[in-house]
Structure 1
Amino acid sequence: MRRHILTKLLLASTVLAMGASSVLADANLVFRFNDSERDEMRAALDEFEAANPGIKVELQTIAWNDARDQFLRESAVGQGPDVVHIAFVWTQEMAEAEAVLPLDELTKYGELPNGFDDFIATDLTMYEGKAYGLPWTADTWAMVYRTDVLAEAGIDDLPTTWADLRKDSEIIKEKTGKTGFSFPAANQVWFPANYYLWSNGGNFIEADGNGGYKVGATREQIADDMNYFKGYIDDGLAPRSILSIDEPQDPALMQGLMDGSQAMALMPTNTYRQLLGAYEQAHPGEDIPFNSGVMMAGSQAPQTHLGGRTLAVNANTEHPEEAWKLVQFLSSAPIFEKYYTNQFPAQKSLLSKIEYRPEELGFAKELADHTRTWGAYADSGVGVGPLWNLTARAFGTALSGQSSTEQAADDLIAEINRMLGK
């Protein structure tokens, strides 16, 4: 299949050299999109179709939890969408699987306005010296607060450490009967688990100093990580129902923030913007009772991941030129100005133009001063996706009480070592 695709691309290059590329053939594309802004993205695609007669785009949506594995299965048998929406950290894995096309096979159909260097986190798109995706959006997670609930509990200052967060949650429960802090405890517990571990000097994987990789945390550190979040559930500070919550935008979490029955949460940029928009729509003209702040510190400074989304073209597409034209359109400024407004663009030239709302300044500071890439998680060869799934399962067994935190930590370490070939 790969040889067949390359043959088609060589033929397309011949046609291009003959001057026939200025008129695109009729094409039906499929764009798979994983976020919640389906209606907005459909409107953007309608604009693209109007400007490009002969190209029709079907919009498919899929949950983030299923997106990676689904696309890898499809691409392996020559199927899947023409343009796919993936996480930064999946790009190398998909390139290794020959599931997506390198950009140098696509930029011959049209260069990027400010070049590839205008995009951030391009290192995460590289595999064997070539880029295989175009960074689309940039984001991170930060803390979100209902300032009126904090005031009701007599809390004047935002917490700055994990210990403070726990203490404030206890005060809120005692004085108001409300939930202090809650979090998605199923698949996406991966994020707070890493933030806690990083702020306390650990990593699930790190370089070993000899050209290889190792588990970068002790059994005690990982068990402490598990015990911290388990304590909120066991002590009634957060509802046990969060064990089944995968996404930070789950209505069960968002409703508590919307109606003021919960004071604090952690979430990504786009979820916070959705929360602000929903509150303004439900309470027109009222003051916004939300604020944001940087993530909690442990024994070291707070850290979250530099995350985001990438656009890639399926190696099996029959319309690489039209697919690239769609990618160029989706990366243009009007998309972020009119349609995909909950996201920050992954381009320096566009990021420099962002005006943050006062309620968003915690996210701006987190993104500027307290983020890191997944680093060794991706470089080790284990891959962020498999490590994420493994870690989430281990935390799930510990938080639910299916195993002790010590046993879950031992099992996680053993599995990571197995994946590292040790």
Structure 2
Amino acid sequence: MKFAKPAAVAALAVSLIAPLAACSSSDSGSGGVVHLTFRQFDPESEVTGLKTALDAWNAAHPNIQVELQTLSPNNAQQFAREANSGSGPDIDQIAYTDVSFLATPKILQPLDDLEKNDPLPGGTDGLLATDLTKIDGKTWAMPWTADTMALVYNQKALTAAGIAKPPATWEELAADAKQISSSSGGKTAGFCFPASGSATSAGWFAINYYLWSHGATLVKKDAAGNWSAGATKEQLTSAIQFFTDLFSSGAVSKANQAVQDYSDPSIVNGLANGSCAMTYEPPSTFTKLEQQATAAGTTVTTAPMPSGLTDGATHLGGRALGINRNTEHAEEAWQVIKYLMSADTFKTYTQYPANKTTLTQLSVPQSQQGYVQQLPHSQSFGRYIGSEMTVSSIEQLANQQFSSVYSGQSSAADAASALLDGLAKGLKG
């Protein structure tokens, strides 16, 4: 089975819905046809392949017709309001981190009985992210797509510096990045990553990956359910100093301290034109970057992140599928979910399935094998969910403290202490 490369952006015949508009539950029209609505939140330009897959379903199932609705960006609160008022789509795409918020019989239907009566091919053992979709012994949504960050590199830039293969550890990355920057006379930055101190800076991913691969985590829960910091002051100081040294050694340009996102042109264009050797990107950004690099006469490819083949050293993101408790056709909705989770859907939908078995059935381009190798070892941010401190608050605190050292406003030790103090206060509620 082929994992298709992204199709050209085309007009997408989807139904756009206005905020707070009530969608009726499915009903049987003339001839006994069941009409279901499926809502998703990704931009239309990214779901051309999904529309193709649903067109194939509708052609093969004349008695179960699915209408694709797009409401972007993600708005779990709206779906909750609709479900509580007796409306909303029959099937809803849900971010993994939103499942716990929606996991109530007033919003979603538990899926265990549906799966038991009409099992998934191969069962549920190969599903990823079940720690976020199964709550209090009930399955509230099915893991559907999976994504993570992979190391993206320009092979020409590595080769020019005498480096034969991408780094396998963070320590190797630091050494290789310094060598690339030095050997190129500063024309090629060895590593480019978003390092701003903004609340949502994507430097957050690198911070966590480094900590996780070195036996630490920002917060942890003990057997009694109590939350505390998951790293010592020494571990946090070491992590902060590691990234700070990337700037002082020349491995990373100081200009990256103002960059917030991995899709920033300074990073994407740098990889494509060879002025940046390595970074990290999710699959959705890589596919566009690869096209840009090809047009520029170079190539980019992926590898696992440093220590990315160690279980739990990288994050697992993605989307789940849930069934609205108001639907009148839960069994038909379940049939559609099974199809959406199958390899048939991922022939055209350029996401990765959250199912290890389905993932092995896809023919993925060699340049994207870094994601395929790493995904089975990735672990969700569910490890941070459940304390009095939200994940977004932890993210903001970490980004601020790490950035304060990059910019010279604080020492690594002082920033580590401030980070620990902030976590202690936040975890107390």
Which range, TM-score by smaller chain?
A: 0.7 to 0.9
* In structure 2, distance between residues paired with 1:127 and 1:408: 36
* In structure 1, distance between residues paired with 2:321 and 2:263: 22
* Cross-structure match for 1:23: 32
SS in structure 2 at match of 1:390: helix
* Cross-structure match for 2:204: 190
Q: Is the 8 A contact 2:192 2:267 kept in 1?
A: yes
Identity of aligned residues (%): 32
Q: TM-score, normalised by structure 1?
A: 0.75
SS in structure 1 at match of 2:164: coil
SS in structure 2 at match of 1:367: helix
* Cross-structure match for 1:57: 67
* In structure 2, distance between residues paired with 1:335 and 1:325: 13
Letter paired with 1:72: Q
Letter paired with 1:164: E
| Residue 149 (structure 2) aligned to one of 137, 141, 152 | 141
Q: Is the 8 A contact 1:136 1:308 kept in 2?
A: yes
* In structure 2, distance between residues paired with 1:211 and 1:53: 48
* Cross-structure match for 1:260: 274
* In structure 2, distance between residues paired with 1:371 and 1:301: 6
Instruction: Give CA deviations for 1:339-363 in whole Å, capped at 9, x if unaligned.
Output: 223x322234322323454434444
Letter paired with 1:33: D
* In structure 1, distance between residues paired with 2:421 and 2:226: 17
Q: Is the 8 A contact 2:110 2:138 kept in 1?
A: yes
* In structure 2, distance between residues paired with 1:420 and 1:40: 42
| Residue 391 (structure 2) aligned to one of 381, 387, 390 | 387
Letter paired with 2:133: T
Matches within 5 A, 1:214-225: 214-225=228-239
- Count of aligned pairs between the two proteins: 391
Letter paired with 2:233: R
Q: Is the 8 A contact 2:158 2:180 kept in 1?
A: yes
| Residue 83 (structure 1) aligned to one of 61, 79, 91 | 91
RMSD: 4.1
Question: Residue 35 of structure 1: CA displacement?
Answer: 8.6
* Cross-structure match for 1:71: 76
SS in structure 1 at match of 2:345: helix
Question: Residue 318 of structure 1: CA displacement?
Answer: 7.2
Letter paired with 2:384: Y
Letter paired with 2:355: Q
Matches within 5 A, 1:88-107: 88-95=96-103, 99-104=107-112
SS in structure 2 at match of 1:138: strand
Q: Does 1:351 align with 2:366?
A: no
| Residue 217 (structure 2) aligned to one of 203, 228, 239 | 203
* In structure 2, distance between residues paired with 1:278 and 1:318: 46
Question: Residue 302 of structure 1: CA displacement?
Answer: 8.7
* In structure 1, distance between residues paired with 2:151 and 2:138: 36
Q: Is the 8 A contact 1:133 1:313 kept in 2?
A: yes
Question: Residue 162 of structure 1: CA displacement?
Answer: 2.3
Letter paired with 2:128: I
Instruction: Give CA deviations for 1:245-276 in whole Å, capped at 9, x if unaligned.
Output: 33x34444222111211100122344434433
Letter paired with 1:23: G
* Cross-structure match for 2:41: 32
Structure 1 residue runs without a partner (length 5+): 1-7
Name which of structure 1's ranges 130-139 and 409-418 shifts more when overlaid on structure 2.
409-418
Q: Does 1:159 align with 2:167?
A: yes
Letter paired with 2:46: E
Q: Is the 8 A contact 2:147 2:316 kept in 1?
A: yes
SS in structure 1 at match of 2:278: strand
Question: Residue 94 of structure 1: CA displacement?
Answer: 2.8
The structure whose residues are more often helix, as a share, is 1
Letter paired with 1:376: R
Q: Is the 8 A contact 1:243 1:396 kept in 2?
A: no
Letter paired with 1:399: S
Instruction: Give CA deviations for 1:337-392 in whole Å, capped at 9, x if unaligned.
Output: 1x223x32223432232345443444444335x534446323x4458xx2244324
* Cross-structure match for 1:41: 50
SS in structure 2 at match of 1:86: strand
Structure 2 residue runs without a partner (length 5+): 1-23
* Cross-structure match for 1:376: 383
Q: Is the 8 A contact 2:129 2:379 kept in 1?
A: no
Matches within 5 A, 1:257-336: 257-280=271-294, 282=295, 289-297=299-307, 303-315=313-325, 320=330, 323-336=333-346
* Cross-structure match for 2:190: 180
* In structure 1, distance between residues paired with 2:105 and 2:222: 26
SS in structure 2 at match of 1:203: coil
* Cross-structure match for 2:428: 421
Residues 203/251 of structure 1: CA separation in 2 closer, same or farther (3 Å cut)? same
